[in-house]
Structure 1
Amino acid sequence: MATFDPINRREFMASAAAFAASFTIVPSNVIAGLGKIPPSDQITVANIGCGTQGLREMGELLQNPKVRVVAVCDSNKFSTDYFDWSPYGIRNDIRKTLGDDTWWEGKLGIPGGRDIGQEYVEKYYGKNKPSGRYKGCESYEDYRELFAKENGIDAVKIMTPDHTHASIAIAAMNKGIHVVTHKPISNRLLEGRKVIEKAKTSGAITHLLAWSDRPEYRQIKAWMDAGLIGELKEIHNWSYRPVWQQWTKRPSPAMPIPEGFNWNLWLGPIPDMPYHKNYTHNVFRGWYDFGGGSVADMGHYSLFPLFETLGINKSPLAAKAFGTTTREEVNQVYQWVDNNVAFPASCTIKWNFPAQSTLPAFDLFWYDGGMKPFAPEELERDGKDTPDEGLMLVGTKGKILGGFRGENPVLLPESTMMTGRDSERINSREVERNTSSWVDAILEGKQTPGSFIRAQTITDTINLGAVALRAKSKINFDVNSLQITNNEKANEYLTREYRSGWEI
């Protein structure tokens, strides 16, 4: 088991700096090398995953004076064939961070890969050097080599496809490295449990990036505590996602593996299968093997902080789901496609939650792909409909409706329930959010509000939804044995078949 020594790297470097200062007085900006904050007060970070979201979030990392990015890693060396929701978003983000409007000038496509990540880091830090150049960011294809060679890493930020999050997180904690990861912690329930248990026993500081402080939820809880909607019966959450293409069967024929792309490493724990571009470069989320669907992509953002605020810390006991069906033409006959490889284009999922310490038993509903709840009578009387994305809490006496993450919540019916309460409404756009909570937590040696050890219920919920979609029937979940009790085959979906040597 990894141990996190109280005499850590920063304290060691601070002592070394003090010893060196006894011989030579060195200006702080020289000690820091990258700014005015000395290395003893910075955390060193390895960024694993240099695709679209990895690069999109790297600018914020580089501009944080408390962080020094010392390594990047990606199984892809370099390519311009990534998919994104903006043709120039990544390029423009990098230009803005670098202060260079000529970066990527005259080039086509959406860039990604470890070469781009390394270039981004070194160009940014080079701005603070008299020479304008900086060489201090190592580049790796394999995260296992990174962990073997880099001994001074404080934290790793995992920005890879969902199916590799667990392997990387556990490997990092085994090396005594703190872990920050994009959602989900894992796209398999039993895997997620193992990562969370490792976080509890290792002493690592961990953070799930989907967490955020949402004052709207505190307002919602205050209204609930005041009895304004009675006892909670249902929570409804819906998104127009997915924005990426959903598939109905494995792509064929196989395609040649691109030069500079390590397909076997990208697969990680997944047994070997033929390469196809429809799996990689930001379209992985729709596949059961590689992603977690829209509910994992977006549901973490809305539900994780809601669970935390309302005190929902007991996992669901059952789940049921429906997804859109697909037909294809075979010899002039349209036939139903039995799709067990990818998430449907739209779905609805229902979970049955047990009573919590301060809440009665309730049901949680998720909708995506254009599906959403019908407008309740309170909205119809006011001539309104449910928004394209939203959150609604239904009680025995009333309802609360807000945006997808509870933005600008209102009591229903708004025409009467909100009387005298307009002054309480929060404009979420005016609320400043601290996106660097994990950086400060690591420097202070404490867990973050978004720690893995607080994320078991959301991780179980999201992954149990995927199991229900694949099982195509209601599933009953025993939280003690971690088994589906009414469908033996569905237990296969709680875990995965592992490539030899990648078992967790």
Structure 2
Amino acid sequence: MKKDQPSNSPLAVNGKPEKSEEKTGIDRRHFIKTAGIGALAFSIVPRHVLGGTGFIAPSDKLTLAYVGCGTQGMREMLPMLAVPEIQIIAVCDPNRDAVGYRDWSKNGLRDEIRRAINKPDWQPGGENIVPGGREVGKNVVDSFYGNIRASDNFKACTAYADYRELLDREKDLDAVKIMTPDHLHGLFAIAALKRNKHVLMHKPVSNRLQEGKAVIELARQKTNIVTHLVPWDSNGSMDQVMAWINDGKIGKLKEIHNWTNRPVWPQYPTLPTDNVPVPDGLDWNLWLGPEADRPYSPNYTNMVFRGWYDFGGGSMADMGHYSLWTVFNALQLTSPEVIVPNLTHYVGMGDHTPNFVHNDFSFPTGCTVKFKYPANGDRPPVDLFWWDGGIRPTVPEELIAINEEDLPAEGMMFIGSKGKIIAGFNVQNPRLFSKKKKEVKATIAPNNSYEHNKMVDALSLFAKSCKAGTQYPGSFPEAEGLTEAVNLYAASLRSQKLLKYDAATRQITNVPDANKYLSRNYRTGWDPATI
């Protein structure tokens, strides 16, 4: 992630990064790996934490509430604890204990926490398997500060089940980090922004277009409030790709393709029917938040929530923020005019005959969605293709000619009238294939003002920006085009129809019924106007 910029490096121009500050990225697997490696170092006490040079007085720290203590939330909490400019004073999660969590490995997160808090025998409690829950979050915060930052005169952090209560009670709070399931992102961001709290949040801005727009508009109005969407820090550099495009190396740009092997979680073809009791310590009503009441199921929560339209944003919301944000910026992609879905469907066998299920409750196992973007300035109209579920574009003839038999599991490709650029998922290692020349590899080094895998430095920059009231790259308004795309992706899959979109009215014009997928019916007590 980002390293502190030099003093002569502009943080932003009109709230947006200059083009020269495009980033080189790391993929999500490296992001997680880096967090784990970083945690190994946290048990070594930095001198500036103990006082002396670089010591930061408690009154100068950014007070922060950590909202969402699931596995990814806990994993990203560890580097934040090591940032001397930040003090976590509260945690929040509707789940009290470490019960029902799933993770990429059985003991990986537990061992990361042990190293970070310097307690080799630490156990998460609950089921004593995978850590998670607000009591674990509170325990980790208190343990880290008690062991590593005792000189800060730290007061024990407070644990809340209800985010609304947290905001009402924590009067001295400066900022929040939101690490909840997708359906709570927009609502929680609005509540924080209305109270003039800085917001650090994971993707997406919202899993509903209208709600996402409301978040972005509010963030734009709050000029002294800093917002930052975490995946910006993992985006790659478009420097070399744009140099080739602008030099006409591939002719007229026609198509962009981005593909991923996600989902790596179940995409359920039917709704849960098992009668499963709510785990002790989980407030199911709070977990549902604004969404309609329904019986509890473990197949809605934790790692699998993103496969449901109500609770997640699918593979594009999960991974597209890491790969496409820099592409949107460089090519000035704003609002698509047409969205064309192509998806798999589920067929069951019931009573000796096929049962075709019209599924508008969960994302498909795999799909392709095409977005048609109009011309913008000197850029001609261009089609963006998103592929997921392991589905990839056809292997280009250019790769076959050099005896490459397949595309990688995840990648990106730019197709022009005279050639192609093929790159990694985050636009890394681009290669030019022109009709006039053989393969050309990148010659322009990515222009980096800071390194992405320095998570502590990035969080330090966030804290300093909040204290100064100055935006830096990756704010919510900068993600507007991508927010529109990921939500129209979901609406097109859910309706299973070609959609025509009017950006001015934010309405689907050819399938009026599909507009219901762009907004949310809020339960009583959860309307953003009153929260």
Asked if these proteins are the same fold (TM beyond 0.5), I'd say: yes
Tell me if structure 1 keeps the 8 A contact 2:228–2:474. yes
One-letter amino acid of the structure 2 residue matched with residue 242 of structure 1: P
Tell me if structure 2 keeps the 8 A contact 1:44–1:155. yes
Q: Does 1:39 align with 2:58?
A: yes
Q: Does 1:282 align with 2:303?
A: yes
Partner of 1:468: 492
Q: Does 1:69 align with 2:88?
A: yes
One-letter amino acid of the structure 1 residue matched with residue 123 of structure 2: W
User: Deviations for 1:436-489, whole angstroms, at most 9, x for unmatched residues?
Assistant: 143332233211211111111000001001011011111000001111100011
Give the 3-state SS of the residue equivalent to 1:47 in structure 2: strand
Give the 3-state SS of the residue equivalent to 1:145 in structure 2: helix
Q: Does 1:155 align with 2:175?
A: yes
1:431 offset after TM fit, Å? 5.6
Q: Does 1:117 align with 2:108?
A: no
Give the 3-state SS of the residue equivalent to 1:275 in structure 2: coil
Partner of 2:288: 267
Query: For the residues of structure 2 that align with 1:172 and 1:359, how far apart are their CA atoms?
Result: 38
Q: 1:343 aligns with which of 351, 363, 380?
A: 363
Partner of 2:32: none
Give the 3-state SS of the residue equivalent to 1:212 in structure 2: helix
Partner of 2:67: 48
Give the 3-state SS of the residue equivalent to 2:526 in structure 1: coil
Query: For the residues of structure 2 that align with 1:339 and 1:84, how far apart are their CA atoms?
Result: 27
Query: For the residues of structure 1 that align with 2:234 and 2:306, how far apart are their CA atoms?
Result: 26
User: Deviations for 1:278-300, whole angstroms, at most 9, x for unmatched residues?
Assistant: 11122100000000000100011
Residues paired across the two proteins, number: 473
Tell me if structure 1 keeps the 8 A contact 2:258–2:386. yes
Partner of 2:341: 321
Query: For the residues of structure 1 that align with 2:345 and 2:435, how far apart are their CA atoms?
Result: 37
User: Deviations for 1:379-400, whole angstroms, at most 9, x for unmatched residues?
Assistant: 1111212111001111122111
Partner of 1:501: 525
Tell me if structure 2 keeps the 8 A contact 1:213–1:305. no
Q: Does 1:403 align with 2:427?
A: no
Q: Does 1:80 align with 2:90?
A: no
Q: 2:262 aligns with which of 220, 241, 250?
A: 241
- In structure 2, the gaps of 5 or more residues are 1-46
Superposed counterparts of 1:373-388, under 5 Å: 373-384=393-404, 385-388=406-409
Tell me if structure 2 keeps the 8 A contact 1:382–1:415. no
Tell me if structure 1 keeps the 8 A contact 2:236–2:323. no
Tell me if structure 1 keeps the 8 A contact 2:235–2:324. no
1:134 offset after TM fit, Å? 5.6
1:495 offset after TM fit, Å? 0.7
User: Deviations for 1:207-242, whole angstroms, at most 9, x for unmatched residues?
Assistant: 111112645322211222222122211110000011
Superposed counterparts of 1:119-134, under 5 Å: 119-128=139-148
**Which stretch of structure 1 is more off in the superposition, 433-442 or 368-377?**
433-442
Superposed counterparts of 1:105-504, under 5 Å: 108-128=128-148, 135-203=155-223, 204-212=225-233, 214=235, 216-312=237-333, 314-384=334-404, 385-412=406-433, 416-419=437-440, 421=441, 423-424=443-444, 432-433=452-453, 435=455, 436=458, 437-504=461-528
User: Deviations for 1:182-207, whole angstroms, at most 9, x for unmatched residues?
Assistant: 10010000110111111111232111
Give the 3-state SS of the residue equivalent to 1:454 in structure 2: helix
One-letter amino acid of the structure 2 residue matched with residue 503 of structure 1: D
Query: For the residues of structure 2 that align with 1:426 and 1:412, how far apart are their CA atoms?
Result: 20
Tell me if structure 1 keeps the 8 A contact 2:49–2:149. no
One-letter amino acid of the structure 1 residue matched with residue 463 of structure 2: V
- Considering only CA atoms, is the larger Rg found in Structure 1 or Structure 2? 1
Query: For the residues of structure 2 that align with 1:98 and 1:482, how far apart are their CA atoms?
Result: 48
Q: Does 1:93 align with 2:117?
A: no
Taking a change above 3 Å as real, the CA distance of residues 111 and 213 of structure 1, as seen in their structure-2 partners, is closer
Query: For the residues of structure 1 that align with 2:331 and 2:90, how far apart are their CA atoms?
Result: 39
Query: For the residues of structure 1 that align with 2:150 and 2:409, how far apart are their CA atoms?
Result: 51
Query: For the residues of structure 1 that align with 2:396 and 2:104, how far apart are their CA atoms?
Result: 33
Query: For the residues of structure 1 that align with 2:56 and 2:280, how far apart are their CA atoms?
Result: 40
Query: For the residues of structure 1 that align with 2:212 and 2:407, how far apart are their CA atoms?
Result: 33
Tell me if structure 2 keeps the 8 A contact 1:379–1:413. no
Give the 3-state SS of the residue equivalent to 2:348 in structure 1: strand
Tell me if structure 2 keeps the 8 A contact 1:81–1:111. no
User: Deviations for 1:85-105, whole angstroms, at most 9, x for unmatched residues?
Assistant: 222221122122223332229
1:29 offset after TM fit, Å? 8.1
Q: Which one has more relative contact order, counting CA pairs under 8 Å at least 6 apart?
A: 2
1:340 offset after TM fit, Å? 1.1
Query: For the residues of structure 2 that align with 1:319 and 1:469, how far apart are their CA atoms?
Result: 10
Query: For the residues of structure 2 that align with 1:356 and 1:91, how far apart are their CA atoms?
Result: 49
Query: For the residues of structure 2 that align with 1:30 and 1:398, how far apart are their CA atoms?
Result: 54
Tell me if structure 2 keeps the 8 A contact 1:393–1:401. yes
What value does the CA root-mean-square deviation take over the aligned residues?
A: 2.6
Taking a change above 3 Å as real, the CA distance of residues 311 and 132 of structure 1, as seen in their structure-2 partners, is closer
User: Deviations for 1:57-101, whole angstroms, at most 9, x for unmatched residues?
Assistant: 001111112211111000000123212222222112212222333
Please give the TM-score of this superposition, normalised by the length of structure 2: 0.84
One-letter amino acid of the structure 2 residue matched with residue 462 of structure 1: V
Tell me if structure 1 keeps the 8 A contact 2:240–2:443. no
Taking a change above 3 Å as real, the CA distance of residues 281 and 215 of structure 1, as seen in their structure-2 partners, is closer
Tell me if structure 1 keeps the 8 A contact 2:235–2:325. no
